[in-house]
Structure formats: C-alpha cells, structure tokens
C-alpha cells in the first residue's frame, strides 16, 4: 500500500509547497528584515503572489481561482511564515479573511464585480470585525448599518485591521465589514472611496508583524449600496463563524512555519558554535532545547494537517479542532522561538539572526484571530455538549 505524505498528500500539494518555498527563499527572504525595520508593506511583492495564483488559492476554478483545499492554504501560510510572518499576515488577511470569506458568501453579481481585482492583487483587501471595545466578544460590536432606500448608512469604528492601510496615508482598497442591522449582524463590501469611509490612523509601534499594516478605520454615515450586502440581512454571524475556522487553521500554519525555521536555525548554530573545545550541541541543555522544540513542532504540525485534511471550506463543523490547533500551535511557536533565542544566546537577541524577528512575530498569533483564552472556552463548551468528540 502506498504511503501518503500527511503534509503534502497529493502531487499538486507537493508542487505547491516547492513553488512557494522557492518563492519565499528567493523573493521574500531578501526583503524581510528591511521591511520589518521600516514597518512597511511590500505591495509589489504582494502582487507577485497574485501572478502565482496564490491570492485565490481556495476560490473555485470556475471563478478563476486555484480551486484548492484547506491543506493547500496551510502549505502556503507555513512556507511564507518560515521567512516573513509579517508579510504572510497581510496575505492571510487578504486571502482568507476577505477573498475566501467573500467568495463563499457572495452572489454571482458580486463575484463578477470583485473577484478578479482581489485575486490579481490589483486591490488589497481585509476584514473589519474588531472594534475599540469589542475584540474577542465579537457579538458585542457597536457598529450599525441602517437602511434608507437603496443604501445602508454605516457608522462605527474598527480597530487593529490588517491591511487597513497600505502606508501612513493610504487606505486599503476593499473590506468586508460586519455591522449590526435591524435583523442582526450583517456584512458589507466597502470600497475605498465610498463617502464617509476614512482612515482613522495607521497604527505604529507593533512589537512584531511589522511588515503588515494595521489601522483604525472610521465609518461616518458611510453609504454602502444594498447590492453590496452579503447574503440576507442578519445572517452574517454564520458567515463569520464559518470563516473563523479556516482563519484559525492558517494561523496555526503560520505558527508551524515560525517553529520550523527556529528549529533549523538553532540546530545549525549549535553545530557550528563551540564552547570548551566542542560543539555546543554536545551539551545536554542545548540538546533539550533542540529535542523538545522539534517534538513540540511536529506534534502541533501533525494536528494541524490532520484537521486541515478533514476541513470543508463550504460549511462549518471543525470548531473544536480549529480552536485546538491554534491553541496548541501558537503557544508552541512562541516557546520554540524562545528556545532558539536561548540557544543562540546574545546573538539570538540581535536581528542578524532571524529568530529575534520570529520571536517578536510569534506573540501576535496567541492574540489575533481569537485569544488563547477564547479557544479554551470554546473547546470546553464544545466538549461539554458533545463528549463523543473526545474519542
């Protein structure tokens, strides 16, 4: 019986991995440190992802996308994050939070109007859910959309929006915005240039993920055509929860990408660095850091691909494991990055070695896309309701 590679289960997955790995090494790696230091988004490089067909990785082929699955999305995020998690975060916000979410909930007219623009990278997109006083408690959002005639008038503020700005003064191009309506939470496609839509502030000074732009977005009687509402009024809570599953799995993939690179760096360094006349990998404490890091990384990675392989992009049903993957993988990545910095000692604390940047980037993954506390709550709730999920 042939053996199936869990991490690249088909020839198409294997080719995708090699393509993205080569692109990451040749194009993304050389620019990563400079864009991190300068807190800038590399828009030309991002558009190259469109040329490779990666911005529509999960969009069905009949709409011009790659038509691939959750495993493919995981592969791309893993490979990009091994060299530049900040750039990958911009990719996730565009491709998973906007493109995938939009495609699965839009009607034919909406797909026709927008998909080509976002899959090519001509337009950079994002998703607006978090507010100044509503993060994990998404149902506590205050933004409202009131219908008057053929338009909704949207009021509110959205905070910490990835791709919210392309630089200090320029809004991102297109957003999927969640807001309260008469019948509950609804979602709307909002373009840059709609009256009443503005950039509140580009947020500087992040600890990590500096190559992706984060902003506050402001809606003041922003006029949104009714034809830009996704689905029926009030049904977007379902859209939101369904897309959170693939978001959390791809954040898990970012975590395993970070961890893989950290294991590589610390293993190579421990073989080259000597102390007391021998390579430091001969010392038990260094062996513990490397051995534990590799085992924890592989355990999280196996859980990640097991979950992605069973995931349907068209309907929810993997919440307990998408939460579980993100809970395990993000905490693992932070610990492995810390271990790598410890193995490298003083050198690890400087940007010459990539672990300093990965260490800073890793922390956000415990916060964005749902905090680790939210995952613990969700898992407990799901298991209490369905004990059969345990075994």
Please give the DSSP secondary-structure letter assigned to residue 167: S
In this structure, whether the domain defined by 236-389 belongs to CATH 1.20.140.10 is answered with yes
Burial label, 200 (beta-carbon count in 10 A; 0-12, 13-18, 19+) = middle
Nearest to 183 by CA among 232, 131, 243: 232
Taking the C-alpha atoms of residue 39 and residue 206, their distance in angstroms, rounded to an integer, is 9
pLDDT of residue 230: 97
CATH number belonging to domain 11-124: 1.10.540.10
Q: At what angle do helices 355-364 and 29-38 cross, to 10 degrees?
A: 60
* E strand intervals along the chain: 125-128, 144-148, 151-162, 174-181, 184-191, 197-202, 214-225, 229-230, 274-275, 278-279
pLDDT of residue 262: 98
- From 131, 191, 247, 366, the catalytic residue: 247
Distance (Å) of CA 363 to CA 24, 37, 80, 251, 354: 22, 17, 17, 12, 15
Cα first-last separation, the chain: 26
- Residue 71's SS3 state is helix
Taking the C-alpha atoms of residue 160 and residue 154, their distance in angstroms, rounded to an integer, is 18
pLDDT along the chain (391 residues), means of 10: 85 98 98 97 98 98 97 98 98 98 97 98 97 83 96 98 97 97 97 97 96 98 98 92 94 98 98 97 98 98 97 86 98 98 96 94 96 96 93 89
229-230 vs 214-225, strand pairing mode: unpaired
Residue 260 tokens, joined: 């893989």
Taking the C-alpha atoms of residue 22 and residue 289, their distance in angstroms, rounded to an integer, is 28
Spell out the domain ranges in the chain.
11-124, 126-230, 236-389
- Concatenate the DSSP letters of all residues of 265-313 into one string: HHHHHHHH-EETTEEGGGSHHHHHHHHHHHHHHHHHHHHHHHHHHT--S
Which residues on adjacent β-strands are paired with residue 215?
161, 202
Residue 296 tokens, joined: 């924890």
pLDDT of residue 316: 74
pLDDT of residue 138: 78
pLDDT of residue 134: 82
Compute and round to an integer the Cα radius of gyration of the chain.
21
Which residues on adjacent β-strands are paired with residue 222?
154
CATH number belonging to domain 126-230: 2.40.110.10
Q: At what angle do helices 319-344 and 236-272 cross, to 10 degrees?
A: 30
Q: Is 247 a catalytic residue?
A: yes
pLDDT of residue 2: 61
Our measurement of the distance from residue 306's CA atom to the centroid of its chain's CA atoms, rounded to an integer in Å, reads: 19
Q: Which residue is it, tokens 């996730």?
A: 92
φ, ψ (nearest 5 deg) of residue 134: -145, 100
Taking the C-alpha atoms of residue 327 and residue 334, their distance in angstroms, rounded to an integer, is 11
């Amino acid at each position: 019986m042939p053996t199936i590679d869990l991490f690249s289960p088909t020839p198409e997955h294997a080719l995708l991995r090699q393509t993205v790995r080569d692109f990451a090494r040749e194009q993304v790696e050389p620019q990563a440190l400079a864009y991190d230091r300068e807190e800038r988004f590399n828009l030309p490089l991002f558009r190259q992802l469109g040329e490779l067909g990666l911005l529509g990785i999960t969009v069905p082929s009949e709409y011009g996308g790659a038509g691939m699955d959750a495993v493919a999305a995981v592969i791309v995020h893993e490979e990009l994050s091994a060299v530049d998690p900040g750039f990958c975060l911009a990719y996730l916000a565009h491709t998973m939070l906007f493109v995938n979410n939009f495609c699965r909930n839009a009607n034919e007219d909406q797909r026709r109007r927008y998909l080509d623009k976002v899959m090519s990278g001509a337009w950079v997109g994002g998703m607006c859910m978090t507010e100044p006083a509503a993060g994990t408690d998404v149902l506590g959002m205050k933004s409202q959309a009131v219908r008057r005639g053929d338009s909704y008038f949207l009021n509110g503020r959205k905070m910490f929006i990835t791709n919210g700005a392309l630089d200090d003064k320029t809004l991102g191009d297109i957003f999927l915005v969640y807001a309260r309506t008469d019948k509950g939470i609804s979602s709307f496609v909002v373009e840059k240039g709609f009256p009443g839509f503005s950039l509140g502030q580009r947020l500087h000074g992040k600890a990590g993920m500096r190559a992706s732009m984060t902003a506050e977005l402001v809606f003041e009687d922003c006029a949104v055509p009714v034809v830009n509402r996704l689905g029926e009024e009030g049904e977007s809570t379902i859209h939101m929860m369904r897309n959170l599953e693939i978001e959390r799995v791809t954040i898990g993939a970012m975590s395993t990408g970070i961890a893989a690179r950290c294991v590589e760096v610390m293993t190579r360094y421990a073989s080259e660095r000597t102390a007391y006349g021998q390579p430091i990998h001969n010392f038990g404490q260094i062996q513990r850091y490397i051995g534990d890091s590799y085992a924890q990384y592989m355990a999280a990675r196996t859980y990640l691909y097991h979950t992605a392989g069973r995931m349907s992009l068209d309907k929810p049903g993997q919440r307990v494991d998408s939460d579980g993957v993100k809970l395990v993988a993000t905490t693992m990545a932070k610990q492995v990055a810390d271990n790598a910095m410890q193995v490298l000692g003083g050198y690890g604390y400087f940007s010459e070695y990539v672990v300093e940047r990965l260490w800073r980037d890793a922390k956000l993954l415990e916060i964005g896309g749902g905090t680790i506390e939210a995952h613990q709550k969700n898992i407990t709730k799901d298991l209490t309701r369905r004990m059969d999920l345990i075994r």
